[in-house]
Amino acid sequence: MLAFGARMITLSSRSFWTDEGYSFWFASQTLHTLWTEVPLYETHPPFYYTLLKGWMALAGSSEVALRMPSVIASLATVVLLACSGKILRAGRLGDQAGVLAAFLYALNKGSIEYAQQARPYALETFAAAAMTLSSVALVLALQRCRKTSFWRDRSVRTSACFLALTGALTLWLHNTAMFVVFGVWSGLLMTVVLDSEKRAKRAAVIAVCGCAAFLLWTPYLPFLLYQSRNVASHFWLQLHWQELPGAWSLATGGKWAFAPMFLLALLGLGKIARHRFSLAVHLMCVLLVPFTVVVTISYLLRPIFMDRLFAWMGPQVVALTAVGVFVVLKRPASRIAAVVLIVVLSVAQVVKFYRHPSEDWRALVSTIAAGAMPGDIVIVDPNEAQPALDYYARNQAWFPPTLIVPAPFPALRMDRPYPAGNLGVPGPTDADRPLIGDACAAHRRVWLVRRGPELYDPDGVVRSEILRYKRPVRSFSADKGTTVELFE
């Protein structure tokens, strides 16, 4: 109930941001379009949007309805943590650590934030947590097994099957999830190297699981390779080394609780290493390998680093923190003090999140609808802003006609730059000036909606062309990167 309540606060009051508008747009497409055309320009697999499409058919398309799958996935992660001790047969302390991990994750700011978004991150986090838990269960089952063939052991078979399925599910939820899966299997191979018994047979089990997960994911591989060529040459991110700690503070639920949680997680990992060194190395690989790969690619090839790519690490870090509390801190008073400190800092971070406004497309569209007059037109620059705008405009009694520059989303294969790496979102050029000029000449007033002009329209093509015909009257900002201006 605590986890559910924490994720419902501001769920309906918070506006969709741009990417959530994308989620609605993709989920509104036909299944044929979603699985044959959308992967050619959307940088995430269609699996999440397919689930969302089915959910929309049952629950509707309100903000709460579209976000509810993420809430459910986040709650499922809390339950998974609570049951992790029993699943691993870790004894009384393991059961207690699992319950504590679930309690801390229920109040984790990162988990709450992505539970309130109609995006795949909460579901990816659940899948990655289940995959990690399955991998740990497999390592322990292989170490405990005394049968001549591992496949005769029920625990090995069960863990291996769940590992393959959750690995495939993780891959289908995000393009960078391949690095998460690579980290898990790197850790599994390290256990083969470090544990001397039956290395060949253990490696075979791990290889079979990996091949099964890969085969379940291979239908998407051609699309990923196609998209990767464009991302390698055009992508909107810039990497600053100061951003790197953000991945770890996101996992701990914010920078305020970072120090005590990270320290306890390290102590918990050290305690595991003293008893099962190979398992500790495996867990280190799970967390460090994906982070290292993403940072390396970002520095050497093309920046792809964003802290939200590491939201999946939250359950693992919280679980290690709980191990640190119960295994390292021996006195009950010390445990209580540590938990109280973490809870206070986590709750403060969550309250700050509740008070922090999101990109407010709802208010932006309402502003236009409230002030619009017959004869107005809305010009949208670039078409990335169209899905979120259309989502809220559809609920207005009347909304002016819109002109999408350079073309409605998705604008494919146009002879112009695609500065963000999204093959459906080109930037405007001087070739669009006649189109903009005709719209200005034919309408008395113009509402200009812009998002990320420094990326998509650094020369100000759209606005400068409007200024040739109209003068600015007033403006409204949905956030620092999204604005609407009225010209007449």
Give the integer Cα–Cα distance in Å for 343 and 345: 5
Residue range 119-135: mean pLDDT, rounded:
98
What pLDDT, on the 0 to 100 scale, is given for residue 231? 61
Q: Which of 325, 294, 288, 319 is nearest to 108 (CA)?
A: 319
DSSP string, 27-72: HTS-HHHHHHTGGGT-SS-SHHHHHHHHHHHHH-SSHHHHHHHHHH
- The segment(s) of the chain belonging to CATH 3.40.50 are 361-487
- Grade residue 328 by pLDDT with cuts at 50, 70 and 90: confident
Angle at 331 between CA 330 and CA 334, to 5 degrees: 105
Tokens read off for 131:
């995959």
Is 90 exceeded by the pLDDT of residue 107?
yes
* In contact, 136 and 282? CB cutoff 8 Å: yes
What pLDDT, on the 0 to 100 scale, is given for residue 173? 97
- The percent of residues above 90 in pLDDT, for the chain, comes to 82
pTM of the model: 0.94
Instruction: State pLDDT tens for residues 218-240.
Output: 999 998 888 777 665 566 566 77
Give the integer Cα–Cα distance in Å for 51 and 339: 37
Average model confidence (pLDDT) across the chain: 94
- Grade residue 302 by pLDDT with cuts at 50, 70 and 90: confident
Is 80 exceeded by the pLDDT of residue 147?
no
Residue range 125-153: mean pLDDT, rounded:
91
- Grade residue 303 by pLDDT with cuts at 50, 70 and 90: confident
Is 80 exceeded by the pLDDT of residue 203?
yes
Can you give the length of the chain in residues? Answer: 488
Give the integer Cα–Cα distance in Å for 278 and 269: 11
Q: Which of 149, 2, 4 is nearest to 75 (CA)?
A: 4
- Return the bridge partners of 376, or none: 445
Is 80 exceeded by the pLDDT of residue 471?
yes
DSSP, res 383: G
Report the C-alpha dihedral over residues 22, 24, 28, 34, rounded to 10 degrees. Answer: 40
Residue range 362-388: mean pLDDT, rounded:
96
Q: Which fold has domain 361-487?
A: Rossmann fold (3.40.50)
What pLDDT, on the 0 to 100 scale, is given for residue 301? 80
Contact partners, residue 263, CB within 8 Å, separation at least 6: 324
